[in-house]
């Protein structure tokens, strides 16, 4: 009599989500479009947003999704009701039926990102990465002082005769083009994130 070997359960690949990430409060609009598996965890989504927006992950962050706050609970920095721990939360589960959410980065500069689910795409068994497919304009540098600080920074660094031009060049360490966005340079680091 032959032994019955149970079949391995075949894992169905997740659907993909196309998200548009917009940085609120800045004109012209700074935005990125990304495609990623809907099963991505919030900590991994945080990494994706950090990369596509050019942030360096120096500061705290928080997601606001379907009326809930998710982040890394820290009693020293939390005001009011503490955020839920984001560690094992998957985007699809947090979204439920919501089609948009917020991501706040750096509570001092208060970079408010509006994220919209533009499309739910069919599963693709070979797609297990995050991919940036479009975007516009350079993201503000870290610690520039929020939207008002960024406006002053752009004015000073893009005008050679501005009284603060040299100081901003030294602070930033290079010239800055607020209209620049390099898709291939943005995508390359995304391949290093293990989803």
pLDDT digit string, tens, across residues 18-69: 999 999 999 999 999 999 999 999 999 999 999 999 999 999 999 999 999 9
| pLDDT (mean) for 160-185 | 94
* Chain mean pLDDT for the chain: 91
Most distant CA atoms of the chain, gap in Å: 90
Which pLDDT value is given to residue 9?
62
Question: Highest mean pLDDT range out of 53-67, 78-92, 119-133?
Answer: 53-67
Would you say residue 76 has pLDDT above 90?
A: no
Name the pTM for this structure. 0.90
Distant-in-sequence, close-in-space partners of 179: CB < 8 Å, separation ≥ 6: 28, 137, 138
Whether residue 98 is preceded by a cis peptide bond, meaning omega within 30 degrees of 0, is no
Looking at residue 194, its pLDDT comes to: 83
pLDDT at 5: 62
Pairing of the two strands 84-85 and 68-71? parallel
Q: How many CB atoms lie within 10 A of CB 103?
A: 24
* Least confident piece of the model among 1-5, 125-129, 146-150: 1-5
Query: Is the CA virtual torsion 107, 111, 116, 122 positive or negative?
Result: negative
Q: What is the pLDDT of residue 81?
A: 80
Q: What is the pLDDT of residue 4?
A: 65
pLDDT (0 to 100) of residue 128: 81
Domains, the chain, with CATH or none? 16-138+179-190 (3.10.290.30), 139-178 (no CATH)
Q: Quick check: 1 pLDDT over 60?
A: no
């Amino acid at each position: 009599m032959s032994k019955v070997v149970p079949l391995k359960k075949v894992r169905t690949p997740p659907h993909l989500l196309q998200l548009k990430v917009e940085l609120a409060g800045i004109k012209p609009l700074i935005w990125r479009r990304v495609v990623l598996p809907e099963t991505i965890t919030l900590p991994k989504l945080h990494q994706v947003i950090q990369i596509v927006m050019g942030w360096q992950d120096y500061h705290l962050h928080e997601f606001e999704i379907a009326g809930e706050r998710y982040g890394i609970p820290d009693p020293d920095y939390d005001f009011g009701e503490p955020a839920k721990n984001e560690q094992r939360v998957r985007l699809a589960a947090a979204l439920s039926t919501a089609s948009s959410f917020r991501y706040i980065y750096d509570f001092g500069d208060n970079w408010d990102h509006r994220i919209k689910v533009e499309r739910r795409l069919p599963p693709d068994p070979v797609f297990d990465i995050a991919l940036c497919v479009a975007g516009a304009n350079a993201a503000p540098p870290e610690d520039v002082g929020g939207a008002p600080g960024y406006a002053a920074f752009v004015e000073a660094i893009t005008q050679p005769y501005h009284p603060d031009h040299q100081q901003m060049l030294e602070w930033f360490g290079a010239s800055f083009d607020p209209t620049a966005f390099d898709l291939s340079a943005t995508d390359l680091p995304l391949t290093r994130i293990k989803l």
